Structure 1
Amino acid sequence: MKNSKLNLLALLTVLYFCSSVAFGQERDMEYYIKNAPFKMGTIAAPQFADRTFNIKDFGAVGDGQTLNTGAIAKAIAACSAAGGGTVLIPAGLWLTGPIELKSNINLHADHGALILFSADHSLYSVMNGRGKPQLYGEKLENVAITGDGIYDGAGDTWRPLKKTKAAPTLWNDLVKSGGVLSKDGAMWWPTQQGMEGEAYLKTLKGKKDLTEADYAPAKDFLRPIMVIVANSKNVLIDGPTFKNSPNFAFNPKGCTNLIIRNVKIENEYYAQNGDAIDLSTCKNAIVYHCTVHAGDDGICMKSSGSKDKGTAALENVIIAENIVYHAHGGFVVGSNTDGGMNNIWVTNNTFVNTDVGIRIKSSRGRGGLVHNVFIDHIYMHDILNEAILFSTYYEDAGPEGDKGPVAVDDKTPRFEDFHISNVYCNNAKVAVSIVGLPEMPVSKIDLTDVTISATKAFSALEAADITLKNVKIISPDKTVYTLNNSRNINIVNAGFDGAATVFIAADGPKTSGITVTATNVSKVQNAVKLGPGVPKSAVIIK
């Protein structure tokens, strides 16, 4: 009997483990690298020499009052001169100016270490017309930022605040604390220089051979990104918390073999441009097991600048097992996609209270080809706007003001070959919105096994070659699918709320090739509602 119980317990344990794996739990980073739906390049953590350089040995004092910029720089320089190793920031309160990384160095902040970037803006410089980051490295190999330490960017001394984003108490407290208000009273700035910086920069347009001194009067406007590692190979970011950033929190640029794991981003919901993790033109990268609170986009893919012919600037990226709160988007593409993107896998992520869940955005002049994107096992709750959004009018007037198609060029947004499955959302404003351009529809999108409850159901404008299989939309909306200038839309086994009076409302001269199969629409008052000039053959219900 005892052996039988043990065998049963063992069997239950195995079954539990197998079921956990099946639903995306208990999977390590290596699992995702191995099982990506495309061939990944090499991703491996960098290795470092077994040497440790404690910043205290170079004069650093962890009292929160002593400025440790020089001591930290000396520790990094000594470690680099010795051939690399670990620069240790132990528990303590460490006030510092900017920190510059070097190759073959692991900057490790122990649990209990709180690194405060100074609120003295004179310590920070301008680089290439932008604020130089607070924690920075460029053209490096084998570099890491690790440990459970917390980095605070003093962002509240840099960032403006829009009145529309602030609770009344917060707004009143900031206005009373000092700073300046814009003429219309809609924006609060910590400093006069910050408010006037944009106007000053306009006076520099067209001028050549500009120096840092030329940009200095706009320094407070050119808020630094908190952490950038640029044009580097073999990069590991494991464990730290980045909070209160002046601008974006963490923005790797042009990195190859990049691991971001166990990172926490803590930015207030009202933090202007407070993006959490922005990957720009990176290749062979994984963002794994991170937790994000952001004032702007949560985990965002960007690509811009020159690219090799036929090669995407951002390629082979995995986004797995992350949680995003209070962001403009949970997973985001864009807005700048002109470098192209290829092979992105977004899997087993949770988005809570974000403005948009899956947010794919660009616009004319910023676009490029974004394709082979795989999104699965996404869990969302209380999404303020769209659960799934494709938009090609980011920051433009929108389709209502569009005067018609324009010539297609290499900066026309192209979203195609997106594979979205096993997505579940409870409570969004809009289930799905797809908005393409007259000259370039959003195309080749398939949604499979998707369930969303939302106030508004599904709409598509300028979309083509869309397949929806086992998509259930729970909504009080009277129309389930609103399709305008959309063609080759295949709907299979659709689920919808019984209150709907129209299943498909189709309009626009381009609308054609819409088929519905394995779906019972017999109880819908108007299964199909056609706009003027749309032939009956445009929509076929089998």
Structure 2
Amino acid sequence: MSLSRRDFARVSGLTAAGLLLPAGVATAAPDPWREVPLILARICPPRFRRKDYDVTAFGAKSDGITKNTEAFHKAITTCHNAGGGRVVVPPGTFLTGGVRLLSDVELHVSEGATIKFSTDPDDYLPLVLTRWEGTLCHNYQPFIYAFEQKNVAITGRGTLDGDAVSGKWASWGAGSTALLRQWGEDGVPVEERIMGVGKNMRPNMIQFFRCRNLLVEDVLIKNPAMWSLHFVFSQNITVRRIEIYSTNSQGDGVDLDSSSYAHVHDSKFNTNDDCVVVKSGRDADGRRVGIPSTHIVVERCKFSGRWGGITIGSEMSGGVRKVFCRDCEINAPDYPGRYPVKHALYVKTNQDRGGVIDGVHLRNVFGQNVEREVLFVSMYYQNGGTKGFFPRIDNLTIDRMRINGGKVAATFRGFPQQHIRNVRITNSTFTGITAPNLIEHTDGLVFRNTTINGVVPA
């Protein structure tokens, strides 16, 4: 029997390069960060024709009272039909219902401009295809929506205000969530999953659905009815220098949902939920679609939020791979936010989800006053579920993390039937920690050059 070069190296003590290793010395694991430059090289923001279309030329009024839905529609459609360009919102407050973006259009919200969204649900009809907390359905249009478009941007130093702190959106709560989740479990055809009127399902603030070549830059996004910036089945995504203020409702920051090749950087998050979240569908509906989120880089962001800084799940049934986060700050003194982050890394799933998380990497994440576990990776989200689709969580690395203040440095909880595997925490310092680590059903956990309250973990 002949052996391959790699197999020969394994049994003979040679490296793949042919160098003899001492007995008992293992080769170092490959550095996952070497892939980051390759990922970033594939992410290219769209460019647009140099032609402006001012919404006031299409009848828009900046009095904060007149509904400008039709003026926005005319400006965007005209720009698109002419080959693209910028739809410019000048200074002032422009009230509108749902805005529908089209290919080759940059919606530019000028400094001093506010797009304020109507609180009347009828202004977001007709219903559109959307993904609501991981389940496909037809619901109210997100406040800004793009469907199967390419080369689309939202830019400028202005404000997008969902105005959903109170009123109808806030009063709806979870609406018909239980019904929609049952439809997803039962395999009800998507075209029959009609939400909308009477179902009280709040729409997302901004959603790109099956789009590519996307840019969201510089804007302030505040007061969404639900998630702030949601990418679904989309590719080639750049989010930079934005601020999200979503301390009301289920106010996630950026949700990357079954989407790939995304770069989120130099942005600030003050949220009522998770800050940057990677998802891929929920339970049976997510497994049926089976599209993972992959090749995601998050860097130089500031996180203040009620739950996770970097979050994976809980809706991750389609899988998550190759997520990188570096040079980010938790609970920055100059950006304290309304809520302190509960977890710097929050990986949440259960046996209803299934799916695979493979490769989540944090480097040089620092901060203070984490409310609960700094690193929280658990298969027991919502008591662990009941359906027997055990998820996998493999290959997590945390390097050069510096956190001062937290309840627990690390909690890793796998199932007896499915362990968490291959976790490396290196070159890190945790101080002001008040409770011991909790490690259950986790294989290959390594602490190297790392201390917790000055003590090397056992």
Choose which of 144, 153, 171 in structure 2 pairs with 1:190: 171
The answer to whether residue 448 in structure 2 is matched with residue 496 in structure 1 is no
Provide structure 2 residue ranges, at least 5 long, that are not aligned to the other structure: 1-32, 129-136, 332-339
- Equivalent runs, 1:238-249 vs 2, <5 Å: 238-249=217-228
Question: 2 CA distance for matches of 1:111 and 1:446?
Answer: 44
- Aligned-pair distance for 1:58? 0.3
Q: Distance in 1 between matches of 2:78 and 2:151?
A: 16
- AA in 2 matched with 1:396: N
CA contact (8 A) 1:38 1:343 kept: no
Aligned match for 1:296, one of 246, 255, 273: 273
Q: Which amino acid aligns with 2:105?
A: I
Q: Deviations 1:118-161 (Å, cap 9, x if unpaired)?
A: 1222212343333320100011111100001101112223678x
2:427 pairs with 1:440: no
Relative to structure 1, is the Cα distance of residues 118 and 390 closer, same or farther in structure 2, using a 3 angstrom cutoff? same
**Residue 321 of structure 1, aligned match among 279, 300, 319:** 300
* Alpha-carbon RMSD: 2.8
Cα distance in 2 for residues equivalent to 1:202 and 1:375: 32
Q: Which stretch of the first structure deviates more once superposed, 435-444 or 121-130?
A: 121-130
Change (3 A) 1:460 1:197: closer
User: Secondary structure of 1:296's match?
Assistant: coil
Look up the match of 1:518: none
- Give 1:215 deviation, angstroms: 4.0
- Structure 1 segment 279-290 matched on structure 2, within 5 A: 279-290=256-267
Say if 1:365 and 1:457 are closer, same or farther in 2 by CA, change over 3 A.
Answer: same
Cα shift at 1:450: 1.2
The offset of 1:317, in angstroms, is 0.7
Distance 2:302 2:354 in 1: 28
Question: Which residue is equivalent to 1:217?
Answer: 198
1:84 aligns with 2:89: no
Q: 1:233: how far off?
A: 1.2
Q: Aligned match of 1:149 in 128, 150, 158?
A: 158
Residue aligning to 1:533: none
Alignment of 1:306-345 (within 5 A): 313-345=292-324
Structure 2 match to 1:393: 380
Which structure has the bigger radius of gyration?
A: 1
Inter-partner Cα distance in structure 1 for 2:198 and 2:166: 16
**Quick check: 1:158–1:223 contact (8 Å CA) kept in 2?**
no
> Aligned pair 1:133/2:150, yes or no?
no
Q: Is the 8 A contact 2:369 2:405 kept in 1?
A: yes
Change (3 A) 1:92 1:82: same
Q: 1:83 to 1:449 in 2, by over 3 A?
A: same
- Is 1:371 equivalent to 2:358 in the alignment? yes
Task: Return the letter of the residue paired with 2:328.
Answer: N
Whole-Å separation in 1 of the counterparts to 2:308 and 2:330: 8
Distance 1:392 1:132, change over 3 A: same
- 1:123 maps onto 2:123 in alignment: yes
Q: Indicate how the Cα distance of structure 1 residues 195 and 143 shifts in structure 2: closer, same or farther if over 3 A, else same.
A: closer
Q: Structure 1: how far apart are the matches of 2:276 and 2:182?
A: 34
Aligned to 2:394: 416
Deviation track 1:202-231 (CA, whole Å, cap 9, x = no partner) reads: 99998886485x74112xx20010000111
Name the residue aligned to 2:74.
74
Q: Following the alignment from structure 2 to structure 1, what is the Cα–Cα distance between the partners of residues 327 and 178? A: 44
The amino acid of 2:400's aligned partner reads N
Counterpart for residue 358 of structure 1 = 345
User: Quick check: 2:409–2:437 contact (8 Å CA) kept in 1?
Assistant: yes
Looking at both structures, which has the greater relative contact order when contacts are Cα pairs under 8 Å and sequence separation is at least 6?
A: 2
Q: Which residue of 1 aligns with 2:405?
A: 427
1:380 Cα deviation (Å)? 2.1
**Residue identity opposite 2:307 in structure 1:** H
Distance in 2 between residues matched to 1:211 and 1:333, nearest whole Å: 26
Residue matched to 1:99:
99
AA matched with 1:281: S
In structure 2, relative to structure 1, the CA distance for the partners of 1:393 and 1:315 (3 Å cut) is same
Q: Is the 8 A contact 1:387 1:428 kept in 2?
A: yes
Match of residue 55 from structure 1? 55
Residue equivalent to 2:22: none
Pair 1:231–1:158, CA change in 2 (3 A): farther
Q: Hey, what does 2:45 align to over in structure 1?
A: 45
Q: Give the SS at the match of 1:384.
A: coil
Q: Is the 8 A contact 2:121 2:140 kept in 1?
A: no
CA distance in 2, matches of 1:203, 1:459: 34
SS in structure 2 opposite 1:258?
Answer: strand
SS in 2 for 1:123: helix
Equivalent residue of 2:165, what SS? helix
Q: CA deviation at 1:272?
A: 2.6
Q: Which residue in the other structure is 2:27 paired with?
A: none
- Deviations along 1:38-57, one digit per CA (max 9) or x if unpaired, are 65561111111111100000
CA distance in structure 2 between the aligned counterparts of 1:263 and 1:368, rounded to whole angstroms = 31
2:287, 2:355 within 8 Å by CA — same for their partners in 1?
no
2:400 is paired with a residue whose SS is strand
User: CA shift at 1:284, angstroms?
Assistant: 1.2
User: Could you tell me how far 1:385 is from its partner in structure 2?
Assistant: 0.4
Q: Which amino acid aligns with 1:441?
A: H
**368-377 or 299-308, larger mean C-alpha shift:** 299-308
Partner secondary structure for residue 142 of structure 1: strand
Percent identity between the two aligned chains: 26
TM-score, normalised via structure 2 length: 0.81
Q: Which amino acid aligns with 1:291?
A: K
> 1:195 offset after TM fit, Å?
7.6
Find the aligned partners of 2:276 and 2:452 in 1 and give their Cα distance: 26
